[in-house]
Amino acid sequence: MQTSQIRSRFLKFFEKNGHTVVPSASLVSPDPTLLLVNAGMVPFKPYFLGEQTPPWNRATSVQKVVRTIDIEEVGKTSRHGSFFQMCGNFSFGDYFKEGAARFAWELMTGSQADGGLGFAERDLWVTVYETDDEAERIWRDVIGLDPSRIQRLGKDNFWDMGVPGPCGPSSEIFIDRGAEYGPDGGPAFGGDERFIELWNLVFMELIRGESAQGLGKGHDFEIVGELPTKNIDTGMGLERVATQLQGVDNLYEIDEVYPILDKAAEMSGKRYGAGHDDDVRLRVIADHVRTGLMLMSDGVTPANDGRGYVLRRMLRRAVRAMRLLGYQDPAFPELFAVARDCMQSSYPEVASDFGRITGYAFAEEEQFASTLRQGTTILDTAVAEAKRTGTDRLSGSEAFALHDTYGFPIDLTLEMAAEQGLQVDQDEFTRLMTQQRDRAKADRAGRRLVQADQSSYRKLVDTLGASEFTGYSQIARESRVRALLSDGAQTQVATEGDAVELVLDATPFYPEGGGQQPDFGLIEVGSGKVEITDVQRPLPGLIVHRGRVASGEVRAGESGLASVDIGRRRAISRAHTATHLVHAAVRGNLGQTATQAGSLNAPGRLRFDFKTPGAVSPETLAAVEDEVNSMLVDDLEVSAFITSLDQARKMGAMALFGEKYGDEVRVVEIGGEYSRELCGGTHAPRVGQLGIVKLLSESSIGSGVRRVEALVGMDAFRFLSKEHLLVSQLADSFKVPSDELPERVSSLVERLKAAEKEIAALKSGQVLGKAAEYAAQARDVFGVAFVGIEAPAGVAGGDLRGLALDVRGRIPGDRPAVVAVTSPSDKGVSFLVATNEKAREWQLRAGEIVKALAEPMGGRGGGKDDVAQGGGQDASGANAGLQAAEHFVGQKVTGSA
């Protein structure tokens, strides 16, 4: 039975039994605490936590899941895969233990002819929680399972979310794979290769607290009560069931995975099953290519952090595994095509979106192939040096240099070092990475964080219900203050100067969301006026207005007038409409795979991020700008309507990856089919009101993601007016027509460059001519001739090296000599150290000395024993660096280093 058929049978069985079929959510988790969906119940978490009311009593789904916590185990066991599909059925206050057990057993043991999975009862075992007498009774007396195949377990059969909230005992169904896989004794005593868990039934009936009561395995919490309604959450591993029904040994050999493995074996000339190391590599390739395909189909792209790094790590592990199998050519074009064919019957989007997916995959493989060549050479050198000196570890600074300079991932360095029997100083690596992040940390002060505790907001939602947003058709209205908060707590009154948060029964104020900045304005209640400077939606259905009482007194429960700053609203709405136009034009000029990856809509300006593998040419950018403004001239109509999510998709409405949409969605159209997107923002009624859109810049903000920034309306007009004035002034100064200005400026720049090169050459000549003078000024450091030179700015790298070697050559060869040279530049400071043969006999190595030289200049360096070089940020530290290098030489010679 194919995996897609098992998936279909599962959903049809539960749909027949009164469950609503819920499509798989995106792998990009809406939960801010998760990078990726890592369990089948994640999309239902708000219902289990009581944050939202479930729209059904019974539901079923096959949820896409990615887990990478055991990524190093992928390929080594029969159970560890990074992507898998979790079949689940859920009850929200409907059936409980007996219902869950009946459904699971009927599907598992029902004949395949009748739509069941056809497992033999004699092969199945069940575990229950150690104190769950009820569950054992149900399996024994209601289901009729042989009591000898029901076992009680402790912590492994108790489930919680890892936070205070719902929890409860669980019951698991195992299959006995037979004596060839290990000893008998059932799941409690047999080996975990013989008894494989297929289905976990969680009985949510309790509430856990914060503090310790010792359930073990992280369950160091107390049970504080019972849930008012009992819920069911189950998870059946689709790949594990497929392994059994297809009669294969492990999940890498099922129909959705094995063809990828087989293709990798064919390409590399290996035979699967011939050897442990090659088998593991083939499994890694099959697993990671499949996972990469599914992640990218949900909009994840390779990056250096977050979920993008999870993807990048797996793609690069697959590339390296192919190299270790002896295959050096690009492998992804063939492997991803096979993965697509394996998965498209269950997930058609992997085929329809294949062009975009492979654009990123192929670019990542090409980029990493270069990284792998460079990094491997550097790492091999470091490993050889470590073995030569008899150490069993690589320094954290070497690992950091590989990461920072060559883009070599630390996990790959750890893997490759371990293969050579070496460890890596991870503490030092982490310290260096932390220092780098601290230096590069972005200023997040502009981000508006929720001021009150989430629990306070949740109480408001529970007691007050949802806030009504009326801002699509109103900019002012009478509203009642349903709640007033100060310092995160509810209050009844606020006076002049108080910072407050207001919740209204209905509001015309747009809360920040979807890239659109919030409305500002005024709320007048009783004798008080509150200037609103922020509006947020901290929880679904709750709109919170933040501001300061400008005058008078504001009381909870009173009614007043809520008025939006119309000038700001219109400017933001124009920018948001322009963003939709830019999106449509970008896709029109770059292809349908150039989809939105983020946006900012502010008064008079916009920022639009989109996914595309490479830079956008100036010609393409000009074409996008021209197309957008031609739409403005045509004065296209902007309209919005509510429809079902399925209907919106059938109409071709664009949706953002990772966004969570309800059953009903708002569609915004511009000119009918020209632009059609799911959007909750506000817009201009016609695009002619935008006036003009001017694209200012295009840049990279990460691997495969580009950003354009633009001005809209009067902001764009004022910018162009200033630009015109500037061009006119420059043309006046150069005494040429404005259309000849670029040529004249280019000519002037070339002349300046030539003059700078001539000056630099003269400076270098003067410096190089002083080699004999520098050598004569060598300082004696415990028998070593040390020469420290602060060369003037602009000495080229080659000349810096030539000077050091010339000075070194002028010192008699029977005397140890160390020459250190620095030169400031536009980017900071360059430096170089050279040692002669006698110095190296005294164990004075340039590669070590240059590190002492680098530190006071905020830089780093490296190289060989005879010549080493580097660069720094602080040229003012050059003198201190030379002194540090001299001091290091003295310590080395006297044995105190």
Q: Above pLDDT 90, what percent of the chain? A: 55
Q: How far apart, in whole angstroms, are the C-alpha atoms of residue 689 and residue 433? A: 49
Domain's final residue, options 518, 534, 564: 564
Cβ neighbours, 10 Å, residue 163 = 12
Please give the structure tokens belonging to residue 852.
Answer: 């002492």
Closest C-alpha among 881, 862, 68 to residue 404 = 862
Q: Is 351 part of any domain?
A: yes
Q: Is the pLDDT of residue 64 over 80?
A: yes
Q: Is the pLDDT of residue 506 over 80?
A: yes
Closest C-alpha among 204, 6, 18 to residue 103 = 18
- Ligand-binding annotation for 887, yes or no, is no
From 3-7, 11-15, 196-200, 642-646, the region with the lowest mean pLDDT: 642-646
Tens-digit pLDDT profile for residues 229-261: 899 999 999 999 999 999 998 899 999 999 999
Mean pLDDT along residues 427-436 = 80
Q: How far apart, in whole angstroms, are the C-alpha atoms of residue 897 and residue 890? A: 8
Tens-digit pLDDT profile for residues 789-805: 998 876 776 788 888 99
For 208, list phi and psi in degrees, rounded to 5.
-95, 155
Length in residues, the chain: 897
Residues paired with 168 in a beta bridge: 159
User: Same structural domain for residues 43 and 135?
Assistant: yes
For residue 12, give every residue at least 6 positions away whose Cβ sits within 8 Å of its Cβ, in sequence order, or none. 115
Q: Is 42 part of any domain?
A: yes
Q: Is the pLDDT of residue 77 over 90?
A: no
Q: Is the pLDDT of residue 572 over 50?
A: yes
Residue 442: band (very low, low, confident or very high) from pLDDT cuts 50, 70, 90:
very low
Please give the structure tokens belonging to residue 139.
Answer: 């399996």
pLDDT number for residue 397: 83
User: Same structural domain for residues 277 and 240?
Assistant: no
Classify the C-alpha dihedral 141-142-148-151 as positive or negative.
negative
Closest C-alpha among 771, 788, 748 to residue 885 = 788
pLDDT number for residue 15: 96
Residue 214: band (very low, low, confident or very high) from pLDDT cuts 50, 70, 90:
very low
The CATH number of residue 478's host domain is 2.40.30.130
User: Same structural domain for residues 42 and 151?
Assistant: yes
Burial of residue 269 (number of CB atoms within 10 Å: 0-12, 13-18, 19+): exposed
Domain's final residue, options 498, 529, 564: 564
pLDDT number for residue 228: 81
Q: Is the pLDDT of residue 449 over 60?
A: no
Residue with tokens 């005397």: 815
Mean pLDDT along residues 765-773 = 78
Q: CB of 712 within 8 A of CB of 574? A: yes
Q: CB of 1 within 8 A of CB of 119? A: no
Query: Is residue 864 classed as helix, strand or coil in its secondary structure?
Result: coil
First and final CA of the chain: distance in angstroms?
69
Residue 296: band (very low, low, confident or very high) from pLDDT cuts 50, 70, 90:
very high
User: Same structural domain for residues 412 and 463?
Assistant: no
Q: How far apart, in whole angstroms, are the C-alpha atoms of residue 360 and residue 409? A: 18
Closest C-alpha among 448, 553, 543, 552 to residue 505 = 543
Alpha helices in 503-591 (DSSP H): 566-590
Domain of 854 in residue numbering reads as: 758-894
Q: Is 742 part of any domain?
A: no
Q: Is the pLDDT of residue 448 over 80?
A: no
pLDDT number for residue 213: 47
Mean pLDDT along residues 183-198 = 86
Cβ neighbours, 10 Å, residue 323 = 18
Q: Tell me which range, 176-180, 367-371, 655-659, is most confidently predicted by mean pLDDT.
A: 176-180
For residue 841, give every residue at least 6 positions away whose Cβ sits within 8 Å of its Cβ, in sequence order, or none. 816
Q: Is 502 part of any domain?
A: yes
pLDDT number for residue 315: 93
Whole-number mean pLDDT of the chain? 87
Classify the C-alpha dihedral 570-572-576-581 as positive or negative.
positive
**When comparing pLDDT for 706 and 70, which is higher?**
706
Cβ neighbours, 10 Å, residue 809 = 14
Strand locations in 558-648, DSSP E? 559-564, 596-602, 605-611, 638-644
Burial of residue 617 (number of CB atoms within 10 Å: 0-12, 13-18, 19+): exposed
Residue 407: band (very low, low, confident or very high) from pLDDT cuts 50, 70, 90:
low
pLDDT number for residue 450: 39
Mean pLDDT along residues 251-279 = 92
Residue 661: band (very low, low, confident or very high) from pLDDT cuts 50, 70, 90:
low
Mean pLDDT along residues 511-525 = 94
User: Same structural domain for residues 832 and 776?
Assistant: yes
Mean pLDDT along residues 670-694 = 94
Tell me how far CA of residue 649 lies from CA of 418, 585, 670, in angstroms. 49, 20, 16
**When comparing pLDDT for 459 and 557, which is higher?**
557
For 642, list phi and psi in degrees, rounded to 5.
-100, 135
DSSP per residue over 824-844, as a string? Answer: EETTEEEEEEEE-HHHHHTT-
Alpha helices in 74-203 (DSSP H): 97-109, 133-137
Classify the C-alpha dihedral 105-111-116-120 as positive or negative.
positive
Domain's final residue, options 526, 545, 564: 564
Q: Is 743 part of any domain?
A: no
Our count of domains for the chain comes to: 6
Q: Is 191 part of any domain?
A: yes
Mean pLDDT along residues 98-118 = 96
pLDDT number for residue 452: 44
Tens-digit pLDDT profile for residues 343-402: 999 999 999 889 888 888 998 888 888 777 767 777 777 788 777 777 888 888 888 877
User: Same structural domain for residues 578 and 523?
Assistant: no
Query: Is residue 354 classed as helix, strand or coil in its secondary structure?
Result: helix
Closest C-alpha among 477, 413, 456, 706 to residue 586 = 706
User: Same structural domain for residues 226 and 268?
Assistant: no
**When comparing pLDDT for 762 and 88, which is higher?**
88
Q: Is the pLDDT of residue 451 over 80?
A: no
pLDDT number for residue 703: 66
Q: How far apart, in whole angstroms, are the C-alpha atoms of residue 740 and residue 734? A: 10
User: Same structural domain for residues 550 and 619?
Assistant: no
From 306-310, 328-332, 576-580, 698-702, the region with the lowest mean pLDDT: 698-702
Mean pLDDT along residues 521-536 = 94
Tens-digit pLDDT profile for residues 817-833: 999 999 987 778 999 99
Q: Is 751 part of any domain?
A: no
User: Same structural domain for residues 814 and 875?
Assistant: yes
User: Same structural domain for residues 583 and 550?
Assistant: no
Helices 741-768 and 714-734, packing angle to 10 deg: 70
Q: Is the pLDDT of residue 785 over 80?
A: yes
Q: How far apart, in whole angstroms, are the C-alpha atoms of residue 21 and residue 89? A: 9
Q: CB of 680 within 8 A of CB of 667? A: no
The CATH number of residue 686's host domain is 3.30.980.10
Closest C-alpha among 622, 618, 610 to residue 693 = 622
The CATH number of residue 839's host domain is 3.10.310.40
Q: CB of 60 within 8 A of CB of 19? A: yes
Alpha helices in 84-237 (DSSP H): 97-109, 133-137
Q: Is 727 part of any domain?
A: no
Look at the pTM and tell me if it is higher than 0.75. no
Residues paired with 263 in a beta bridge: none
Q: How far apart, in whole angstroms, are the C-alpha atoms of residue 305 and residue 288? A: 18
pLDDT number for residue 200: 96
Residue 446: band (very low, low, confident or very high) from pLDDT cuts 50, 70, 90:
very low
User: Same structural domain for residues 483 and 613?
Assistant: no
User: Same structural domain for residues 352 and 409?
Assistant: no
